[in-house]
Every structure is written in structure tokens, then in C-alpha cells.
């Protein structure tokens, strides 16, 4: 139970947010949370204001058994931790079911049971009769409630079942009523296969709500759990709320099996910003503060899961408020609301400008402002920069992914070229031993290729000629450039390459093709990106690398020496 003892809202406009990132989200390929990961995510979701956090299946997954043992020490502010499990096995007694025993032993105050609600699944997957499945739901729920726990029941394949069995009293509704009679606080309509359309979800949820009310269970909450297989998980959840659902299940960043679960942060933002419903606890000011944490929660959970959220994710994605088209920028300069559905600050995000061949003067001016450069009132320069960007993109540059290179172009156009160093010449050579007949790598794991590079440059009033070695020409050049520059600018030692992307732009020209290199650099505090283009991968990389070091020095506030 949350600190205030709050449980599910029985009616009204409050919607309980039920996060299942740690259970259904963990069913995504490649995701495997440690107990420590789960504890960190629980803390984030509790701070955000989730009502329920489904943390795993104790008894089925050893790590989850350990998690619930450790979670006994947790003192959560708003959330209840939920243990997930299944109803008892067919033909057995609930009190003797080892799965239910493990759920009770977990100490969780709230337990959600998954139950079959589509007759096809009862008969084919469970190999039980419809009546036995109803008894399984009732006995299992009653056991948990009798032990003083809050019990909820996930109605698996609820919408598929109702679609096939629409007349009379559909079986899915009978299952829900069996759960409610046994004391379940909520029954959750699940679109397990993600195939239902929002209209059908709304109709079925409304029907479920009416059936519960008619049978004397107005306090049993209807929940909604959707998957994104039809690209409609959030839409389905929103439609369900309009139709009477007052608990919404989903996962941060839309994690989950197959195409994922409904993206929970989007649902929270939609409910809070665009409907009469509330999704977060507290008064208006408190809810606004919690809402402004959404982008941070998205990034932090992505970091812990080692799955970066989509940059295009609604509300919280890094590019959710990024504008590329010149016409958009010109209107945004007058009023950002003209091209934004909400103020990004409300969900902790920021607006950004992308400069590209689609830019006009307004885009350049706004991007300059974002970079801390005042170019207002310099219409001629802005126009020239826009033309230069278009001309360069036509030959292969891509500035929307390389704001560092754009900054240099702009500074040159404004007559403020940074003057940290001047390169006189560079060269790189590769020495390779032929691959052996067996085509295997040497036993020590080294490669057959060794490279050397020489860089000659002037910096800080001195001249340097430095030799670098590496496992390839790019690596050798980087080593030589860093060694030379670090003698005048030791700050460069902190720069680290975090990404290196190579793209062949006109593949039909084979080995004569134009190559674009994009690199991302960081100094641990800031990140920036640069681009280089050439007919040679080393030449393109050299341009991106040297620009990358100049931008790094500018961003670190280092003056030319
Ligand atoms: C829609 C969802 O996402 S539900 C969540 C699904 N999550 C998981 O499956 C992850 C964790 N699962 C596990 O660790 C294992 O599957 C366990 C421990 C639960 C079960 O493992 P096993 O006993 O080896 O059974 P197995 O996985 O092969 O099959 C599941 C059994 O549960 C039965 N079952 C399925 N749903 C239910 C239900 N709602 N209630 C009771 N039994 C059920 C199946 O009929 C099957 O029974 P059978 O063993 O008689 O064939
Ligand atoms: C319970 C659940 O995860 C589902 O039906 O999708």
C-alpha cells in the first residue's frame, strides 16, 4: 500500500497508473533486469507517482522471489508493489497450489492473477472446462483475499473472446464476475495479442463496466492492458478510459513482448494534459511537478534496461519536439505553440531545431540561438548559411545529425572562425600481412593490419610533427592528432568518441563512392556531433575528427592559445 493508504479509485476522474515494465516489459527480447535494476526502477516509478508497480512473478522466476524478499524493506511513497502470477492449476486445490503459495509467501500486499477469459484458450491452452476455469478464478482470488491481500485479475484475451462470443452473457464477462464475487478489487481487460481496435475496446470495456454494476460490484475497478501489435496500444488504452476503465497498465518506453506494451508515459501525459482525468497523485502543482519528470524517467529506465528509448517517442523522445522544416521554424520564431501540441517543458523535454537542406533563415537563427549564438538581425548571413547548408547537403553532408559541424559553418559565416590549430599535412599508411590459408586470426587475437599516421600542425605558436600508431588508419590518425593537440590543449584528453557511423552515399559507384562519416564525441559532460564527407573514408573521418576537436574546445569554453 502507498504511504497514504490509497488504493484504486472506484470512480470519478482519477485513473490509477499500473506499471508493468518489470514484468511484461521484461518479456521483451534482450531485456534481463537484475534485482538491483528492478529496485532502481521501482524507486523512479514511485517518485513519479505510479499507483501500482508490478515487479515480477515470485515463485516462477528466482530473481523475482529474491526481489520481493528484498522489497519488504522498501518504504514506498505512492506505489504499491504487485506480485504477478497465475490462477491455480486445473483439478487442484488453491490452498495446495505451489504457485499461489509462492505469491502469498512473497509478502506482496497486492497480487494480480492472470486468468483465461477466452473459451478457446480455456479449452485448447489450459485443457480445462469453462466451469473449471471459473472455479480456478474464484478459488484463487478468494484464497488471496482471505489471506488479507488485495487481489486483481488480468482477463487474458478478453477482447478476442468477446468478439467471438458476443451474444448472451459472454464468457469473458462471466470470468470477470467470478473474480469480482470472490473479492477482486479490479478486473483488467487485456488485449493480449494486440489485435483489437480502439472502438471495439471502448464497447467491450463499457459492457464489462455495465455488467459489474448490474451484478452489484460497482467498486470493482475495470482496468485496461493493451499491446502494440496493431500500432494502437495507447489509443486503445485512452478509449478504454473514456469508456469507464479507471486503471491503465503499460510499460515505460513501450517495452514488452513482440511490439511492446502501451507506452505508459504517453498515456500519463495524454490523461493529464488532454482529458478531464488525472493520472498522478497530488494537487495541481504537485501533479505538474511529477509530469515534468516524465522525460527523465524515460531516459533513466532506458539506461537501466540498456535499451535507449526511441528518439521519436511521443512527449519524451529526444526528437519529440525537434523541428526540421523551414516553414515550421519561421512560425515557431513567432510563437512555438504554432507547431507544437504541448509545451515540451511540461513533460521535462525541450524544443530543438534541426538544420538541413530544408532550412530557411528562421531555422538558422533559432538553431544559432539554441547554440548560444545571437545571429538575429543578420538576415544576409542567415540567408548565406542556409544556402551553404543546402549546397553542402547536396554533395553529401548531413547537418541535422551534426550540430557541431553546423556551429563551425555558422561561426565562419559570422566572421568568428575558431583558430585553435592549423593543420599543415597528414598522411596515413596501412601495413597488412596476407591472411593465412586457414583464414583464421592469429592465436593472440591480434589482426593482420597495422597502421601508422603522421600529423603536422601548428598550435599555441609551436609546430608539431607527431607519429601515431593504431589498428587501422583512422585509429592511428586519431592518436597522432590527439598527441599533438594535447601538448597545447590538455582538455582534449577528456574527449572520447562514442559513436562512429559510415554511410556510402552513391553505392552504385562501388569503391569510387562518396562516403559520409558522422561521429559523436563527449567530454563526459557534453556531447556533440560532426560530419565529414570525401571519396575516401580516411579523408571523411579526418574532417569529422578535426572539426570534432574544435567544437569540443569551443563547448568546453577553452580559448585559442
Ligand atoms: C499474457 C502473459 O504475458 S502472462 C505472463 C507470462 N509470463 C511467463 O510465462 C513468464 C514466467 N513463466 C514461467 O516461469 C513458467 O512458464 C512457469 C513457471 C509459470 C510455468 O512453467 P511450467 O510449469 O514448466 O509450465 P509451462 O510454462 O510449460 O506451461 C504453463 C502451464 O500453465 C498453464 N496455465 C497457463 N495459463 C494459466 C492460468 N491463467 N492459470 C493456471 N494455469 C495456467 C498452462 O496450461 C500450462 O499447463 P501445463 O503445464 O499443464 O501444460
Ligand atoms: C496479462 C498480460 O500480460 C496480457 O494478457 O497481455
Residue nearest to atom 46 of ligand 1 (CA): 126
Q: What is the pLDDT along the chain (561 residues), one digit of tens a residue?
A: 333 444 455 457 999 999 999 999 999 999 999 999 999 999 999 999 999 999 999 999 999 999 999 999 899 999 999 999 999 999 999 999 999 999 999 999 999 999 999 999 999 999 999 999 999 999 999 999 999 999 999 999 999 999 988 778 899 999 999 999 999 999 999 999 999 999 999 999 999 999 999 999 999 999 999 999 999 999 999 999 999 999 999 999 999 999 999 999 999 999 999 999 999 999 999 999 999 999 999 999 999 999 999 999 999 999 999 999 999 999 999 999 999 999 999 999 999 999 999 999 999 999 999 999 999 899 999 999 999 999 999 999 999 999 999 999 999 999 998 999 999 999 999 987 666 666 666 666 556 678 999 999 999 999 999 999 998 888 899 999 999 999 999 999 999 999 999 999 887 777 778 999 999 999 999 999 999 999 989 999 999 999 999 999 999 999 999
CB atoms within 10 A of CB 496: 12
Torsion of CA 196, 201, 207, 213, to 10 degrees: 130
β strands within 27-109, DSSP E: 52-56, 80-86
Output the DSSP codes for 442-474.
PTTS--SEEEEEEEEEEETTEEEEEEEEESSHH
Q: Is the ipTM of this complex over 0.90?
A: yes
Distances (CA, A) of 354 to 96, 312, 345, 358, 552: 62, 14, 18, 9, 20
Q: Please name the residues in contact with 272: beta carbons below 8 A apart, sequence gap of 6 or more.
A: 278, 279, 280, 287, 291
pLDDT computed for residue 471 by the predictor: 86
Please give all residues whose beta carbon lies within 6 A of any atom in ligand 2, as ranges. 24, 114, 154, 156, 190, 192, 225, 227
pLDDT reported for residue 433: 67
Report the pLDDT value the prediction gives residue 2, as an integer from 0 to 100.
39
Ligand 1 atom 35: residue of nearest CA: 126
Q: Between the CA of residue 155 and those of 173, 188, 208, what are the distances in Å?
A: 9, 6, 11
Whether 456 and 426 have beta carbons less than 8 Å apart is answered as yes
Distance 150 CA to ligand 2 centre (A): 19
- Ligand in closest contact with the CA of 20: 2
C-alpha 68/C-alpha 50 separation (Å) is 18
Write out the three cell numbers for 164.
Answer: 467471438
Residues 529 and 385 in one domain: no
Q: What is the CATH number of the domain that holds 529?
A: 3.30.160.270
- My answer on whether 380 and 495 are in the same domain is no
What is the distance in A from the centroid of ligand 1 to the CA of 88?
10
Reduced to 3 states, what is the DSSP secondary structure of residue 5? coil
Q: How far is CA 328 from CA 27, 175, 205, in A?
A: 40, 52, 40
Q: Which atom of ligand 2 is nearest to the CA of 190?
A: 5
- Closest ligand to 157 CA? 2
Same domain, 368 and 291: no
Number of domain units in the chain: 3
Count of CA atoms in the C-beta half-sphere (13 A) of 394:
6
Quickly list H helices, 253-378. 264-274, 284-291, 294-305, 326-334, 361-370
The pLDDT score that the predictor gives to residue 448 is: 66
> Which of these, 207, 239, 246, lies nearest to 10 by C-alpha position?
246
- Domain assignment present for 363: yes
Residue 209 located in a structural domain: yes
561 falls within a domain? no
| Together in a domain, 373 and 327 | yes
**Which residue's CA is minimally distant from atom 4 of ligand 2?**
192
Whole-number pLDDT of residue 12: 76
- Give me the pLDDT at residue 440, please: 64
Give residue 527's pLDDT. Answer: 95
Instruction: Tell whether 409 and 426 lie within a shared domain.
Output: no
| DSSP helix/strand/coil, 309 | coil
Pair (148, 46) in one structural domain: yes
pLDDT for 510: 74
Q: What atom in ligand 2 is closest to the CA of residue 156?
A: 5
Residues 253 and 349 in one domain: no
- Please tell me the predicted confidence (pLDDT) of residue 1: 35
Which ligand lies nearest to the CA atom of residue 115 in the structure? 1
* Host domain of residue 515: 421-431+448-555
Question: Residue 153 belongs to a domain with what CATH number?
Answer: 3.20.20.70
Q: Please, is 107 exposed, middle or buried when counting C-beta atoms within 10 Å of its C-beta (0-12, 13-18, 19+)?
A: middle
pLDDT reported for residue 518 = 96
**What pLDDT is recorded for position 468?**
95
Grid cell, residue 368, equals 544559432
What are the residues facing 259 on neighbouring strands? none
Report the SS3 class of residue 166: coil
pTM of the model: 0.88
pLDDT of residue 439: 63
Q: Are residues 387 and 513 in the same domain?
A: no
User: How far, in Å, CA of 167 to CA of 116, rounded?
Assistant: 19
- What integer pLDDT is reported at residue 11 of this predicted model? 54
Q: Which of 20, 83, 86 to mutate to test the pocket of ligand 1 (most atoms within 8 A of CB)?
A: 86
Q: Tell me: do 473 and 370 sit in the same domain.
A: no
Rg value, the chain, Cα: 29
Sign of CA dihedral 204, 206, 212, 215: negative
Tell whether 30 and 128 lie within a shared domain.
yes
Asked whether residue 442 is assigned to any structural domain, the reply reads no
Does 408 lie in the same domain as 425? Answer: no
State the distance from the centre of ligand 2 to the C-alpha of 156, rounded, in angstroms.
Answer: 6
- 337 lies in the same domain as 393: yes
Q: Which helix (H) or strand (E) holds 188?
A: strand 186-191
Phi-psi bin for 445: left (phi > 0), alpha (psi -120 to 50), beta?
left
Amino acid at each position: 500500500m502507498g504511504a497514504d493508504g490509497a488504493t484504486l479509485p472506484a470512480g470519478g476522474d482519477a485513473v490509477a497508473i499500473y506499471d508493468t515494465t518489470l514484468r511484461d516489459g521484461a518479456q521483451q527480447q534482450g531485456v534481463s533486469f537484475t534485482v538491483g535494476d528492478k529496485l532502481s526502477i521501482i524507486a523512479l516509478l514511485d517518485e513519479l507517482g505510479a499507483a501500482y508497480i508490478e515487479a515480477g512473478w515470485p515463485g516462477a522466476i528466482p530473481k523475482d522471489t529474491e526481489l520481493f524478499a528484498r522489497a519488504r524493506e522498501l518504504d514506498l511513497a505512492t506505489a504499491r508493489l504487485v506480485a504477478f502470477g497465475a490462477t491455480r492449476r486445473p483439478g487442484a486445490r488453491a490452498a495446495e497450489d505451489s504457485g499461489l503459495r509462492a505469491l502469498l509467501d512473497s509478502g506482496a500486499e497486492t497480487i494480480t492473477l492472470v486468468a483465461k477469459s477466452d473459451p478457446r484458450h480455456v479449452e485448447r491452452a489450459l485443457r480445462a472446462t469453462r466451469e473449471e476455469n471459473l472455479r480456478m478464478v474464484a478459488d484463487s482470488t478468494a484464497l488471496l483475499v482471505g489471506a488479507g491481500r488485495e487481489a486483481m485479475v488480468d482477463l487474458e484475451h478478453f477482447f478476442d473472446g468477446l468478439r467471438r462470443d458476443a451474444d448472451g452473457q459472454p464468457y469473458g464477462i462471466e470470468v470477470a464476475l467470478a473474480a469480482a464475487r470472490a473479492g477482486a478489487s479490479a478486473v483488467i481487460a487485456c488485449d493480449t495479442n494486440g489485435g483489437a481496435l480502439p472502438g471495439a475496446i471502448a464497447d467491450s470495456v463499457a459492457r464489462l463496466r455495465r455488467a459489474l454494476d448490474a451484478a452489484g460490484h460497482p467498486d470493482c475497478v475495470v482496468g485496461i492492458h493493451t499491446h502494440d501489435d496493431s500500432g494502437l496500444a495507447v489509443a486503445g488504452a485512452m478509449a478504454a478510459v473514456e469508456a469507464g476503465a479507471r486503471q491503465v497498465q503499460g510499460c515505460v518506453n513501450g517495452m514488452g513482448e513482440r511490439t511492446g506494451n502501451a507506452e505508459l508515459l504517453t498515456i500519463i501525459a495524454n490523461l493529464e494534459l488532454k482529458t478531464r482525468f488525472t493520472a498522478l497523485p497530488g494537487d495541481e502543482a504537485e501533479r505538474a511537478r511529477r509530469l515534468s519528470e516524465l522525460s527523465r524517467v524515460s531516459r533513466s529506465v532506458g539506461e537501466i534496461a540498456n535499451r535507449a528509448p526511441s528518439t521519436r517517442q511521443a512527449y519524451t523522445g529526444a526528437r519529440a519536439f525537434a523541428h526540421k522544416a523551414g516553414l515550421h521554424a519561421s512560425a515557431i520564431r513567432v510563437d512555438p505553440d504554432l507547431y507544437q501540441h504541448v509545451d515540451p517543458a511540461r513533460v521535462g523535454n525541450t524544443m530543438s531545431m534541426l538544420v538541413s537542406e530544408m532550412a530557411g533563415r528562421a531555422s538558422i537563427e533559432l538553431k544559432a540561438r539554441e547554440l548560444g549564438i545571437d545571429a538575429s538581425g543578420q538576415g544576409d548571413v542567415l540567408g548565406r548559411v542556409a544556402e551553404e547548408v543546402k549546397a553542402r547537403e547536396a554533395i553529401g553532408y548531413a547537418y541535422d545529425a551534426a550540430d557541431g559541424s553546423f556551429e563551425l559553418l555558422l561561426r565562419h559565416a559570422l566572421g568568428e572562425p575558431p583558430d585553435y590549430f592549423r593543420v599543415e599535412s597528414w598522411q596515413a599508411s596501412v601495413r597488412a600481412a596476407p591472411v593465412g590459408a586457414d583464414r583464421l586470426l592469429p592465436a593472440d587475437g591480434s589482426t593482420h593490419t597495422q597502421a601508422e599516421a603522421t600529423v603536422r600542425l601548428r598550435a599555441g605558436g609551436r609546430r608539431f610533427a607527431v607519429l601515431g600508431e593504431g589498428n587501422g588508419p583512422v585509429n592511428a590518425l586519431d592518436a597522432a592528432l590527439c598527441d599533438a593537440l594535447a601538448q597545447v590543449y590538455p582538455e582534449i584528453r577528456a574527449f572520447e568518441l562514442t559513436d562512429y557511423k559510415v554511410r556510402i552515399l552513391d553505392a552504385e559507384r562501388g569503391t569510387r563512392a562518396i562516403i559520409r562519416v558522422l561521429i559523436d564525441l563527449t567530454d563526459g559532460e557534453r556531447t556533440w556531433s560532426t560530419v565529414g564527407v570525401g571519396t575516401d573514408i580516411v579523408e571523411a573521418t579526418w574532417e569529422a575528427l578535426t572539426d570534432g576537436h574544435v567544437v569540443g574546445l569551443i563547448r568546453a569554453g577553452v580559448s585559442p592559445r
